[in-house]
Structure 1
Amino acid sequence: MYRESNVYTLGTIGNHRVVTTKLPSVGRTREAMTAAGNTTTRLLGIFQKVEYVFLVGVGGGVPHYTDYARHVRLGDVVVSSPAPDLPDKYVYIFCEKAEKNAKGGWDYEVKPYKPADFLLQDIALRLSNAKPLWDAFVREGLERLRGVPGRWEAPEGATDRLCVDIGEGAFIEVSHPAPQGDQVDRAGGGLRVHLSPVAGGRAVSGSGEARAAFAAHARALAYDCELDAVLDSVVGNRKDCFVSIRGISDYRDGTRGKDWQPHAALAAAAVMKAIVAAMPPPTD
């Protein structure tokens, strides 16, 4: 007899019924790719009335070493959104291959993803320009998680160390950029949320020149641990609204920042809840 091995949690956020599951594994091995894609396909097959898909978890930030407004720090959240200055309005771009060319630049082989409907991105933008609910949801989450194993509060700021790759496996630590002119210092002032494409792909997500070059090419402010198989399933099941929300736990792809992972995951979940709560009520 076939038995469903995935665990689904059903609940309500605002006016919407939601279903969640945890991906069994992610990465570029055949087993990981198959498992992640199959889990998504199975959920969407069982719950066929799902209209909106949120991919929520941790990721690696793309820091800017001089501009405070463009700088992504640990504990921030990146919501996958199109770059305003690019004609192709993808929200996630997966790099399968990156090679240096004869001119000193890079040639990329990519798979871009964009929703047919940008409702979720539009709501995130509107919330970021108002007094958002996600700060309250972070506080609410901390209360609910009281007593649950793990450090859900943000670690000490001194643990957010920013380093520059100077080649041959060497790094130097530098200071985070400070606000300049009319830029507002958000330190201690609530969750910082950025809207930009999210990128993936082992060819570019590691530290080094390729990582920075591809992030600039794609306008990405975050990398994740390769969710292209999941997005293939989402698009293949004709889900027109989807978004990736990444809480920043390190400066690579979200897999190494163990100290920041719990809080980053909570921050990403708070942003997701705020977006769902702001969605228009269902019509049926």
Structure 2
Amino acid sequence: MPPAKRIPARGRFHASSSLSRPSSPVADYTIGWICALPIELAAAQEMLDEVHQPLPQDASDPNSYTLGRVGERNTVIMVLGRTGTNSAASAVARMKSTFTSVKLGVMVGIGGGVPSSKVDIRLGDVVVCEPSKDCGGVIQYDLGKTRPGGVERTGFLNAPPEALQSALASLKADHLKGRVGFLDHLAKLSNQPLFARDKAGPDVLYNPVYNHEEGEENCNNCKEEHSVRRQTRGEHVMVHYGTIASGNQVMRDAKERDKVSKGLGGVLCFEMEAAGVMNSFSCLPVRGICDYSDSHKNKSWQPFAAGTAAAYAKELLLSKRIKPLPQIAWT
């Protein structure tokens, strides 16, 4: 059946500029894709293989949704509108109430990387939450009790669902054998000027003790002699698996970044939503690195980083190893 004529989105359900088909019943949407920022939403929408027309507005749910299909899975994309763990928790609760068949999902967007001698994280790389023996994969670093020896973190966050962890293991094996599907999705996205890598600018890591030179948002005034010498990698995007630190404040101090990371046993990135969601929604956080969580933070790498995270998430959701396979509802 040819795609239906596109109609403008109304209310809180939005469709992209692609041709769309009539929406499926609410019960047919089984995957939730959560993002926080408009640039993350734009990248997510481009990953849809099919865009569905909006559903009628529900006055009890102010969330903003995009409906569509990724591979064989009907997917609802939700944009939070605001950053922070509390905002994320409230929005996800409303999504689960509206889309009761959504039991599995991904939380996809940007994050601030934590470079170290052990992990060569670069701008544009992808960080994927992975549990360890001591942690479920996400730590809320700004929640705890103050003790004489420091802050004692309280509470534990759930690990990503086993269905996605199993798919991740297979995906990692595919990548080791050179079958890296997300690069194809990223290449198509990068053809658009907004998400092109060459629009992001240079990837420069500065020494932790050197703060950003005031005057401009970018680092045109920052001195090159304070940059860290690193081995040339080119434009190769790498995927890193490990612990993500989540909190309600933006991390933009390199010394504090390293201090907190060390106290947590080593984290790969900082972000602001996952801690509010992990105990209420079975999802996997995926982050594209857009800065180094230091005073040199700016927005120039956000579009490309949002794109790399979205491309990886699409490869994951296309995996046949995610069971059970949701029913599809088109003819």
**Cα distance per residue 1:199-221 (max 9 Å; x no partner):** 02257934244321332324310
What is the CA–CA distance in structure 2 between the aligned matches of 1:248 and 1:198, rounded to whole Å? 12
- Residue 128 (1) aligns with residue 172 (2): yes
The one of 269, 286, 302 equivalent to 1:222 is 269
Corresponding letter in the other structure for 1:174: S
How many residue pairs end up in the alignment? Answer: 253
SS in 2 for 1:2: coil
TM-score scaled by length of structure 2: 0.66
Say which structure, 1 or 2, has more relative contact order (CA 8 Å, 6+ apart). 1
- Seen in structure 2, the aligned counterparts of structure 1 residues 213 and 51 have a Cα distance that, compared at 3 Å, is same
- Greater radius of gyration (CA): 2
1:7-48 per-residue CA deviation (whole Å, 9 max, x = no partner) reads: 2222111221111110120137xxxx2x43221111111111
Does the 8 A contact of 1:137 with 1:270 survive in 2? yes
1:173 aligned to 2:226? yes
Question: TM-score scaled by structure 1?
Answer: 0.76
Structure 1 unpaired stretches of 5+: 179-184
- The answer to whether structure 1 residue 55 and structure 2 residue 98 are counterparts is no
In 2, Cα distance between equivalents of 1:111 and 1:197? 16
Q: Kindly provide the CA deviation profile for residues 105-157 of structure 1, in whole angstroms up to 9, marking residues without a partner as x.
A: x53424442337333233234323322100001012234xx3xxx63111468
SS in 2 for 1:272: helix
Q: Which amino acid aligns with 1:224?
A: E
Separation in 1 of the partners of 2:298 and 2:155? 27
Distance 1:167 1:243, change over 3 A: same
1:190-209 pair list within 5 angstroms: 191-201=237-247, 205-209=251-255
Aligned to 1:263: 304
Equivalent of 2:317 in 252, 270, 276: 276
2:43 aligned residue: none
Q: Residue 44 of structure 1 aligns to which amino acid in structure 2?
A: K
- Unmatched segments (≥5 aa) in structure 2: 1-57, 214-221
Q: Distance in 2 between matches of 1:116 and 1:264?
A: 22
Q: Structure 1: how far apart are the matches of 2:64 and 2:248?
A: 29
Over 3 Å counting, the alpha-carbon distance change for 1:45 and 1:61 in structure 2 is same
State the 1:195 CA deviation.
0.5
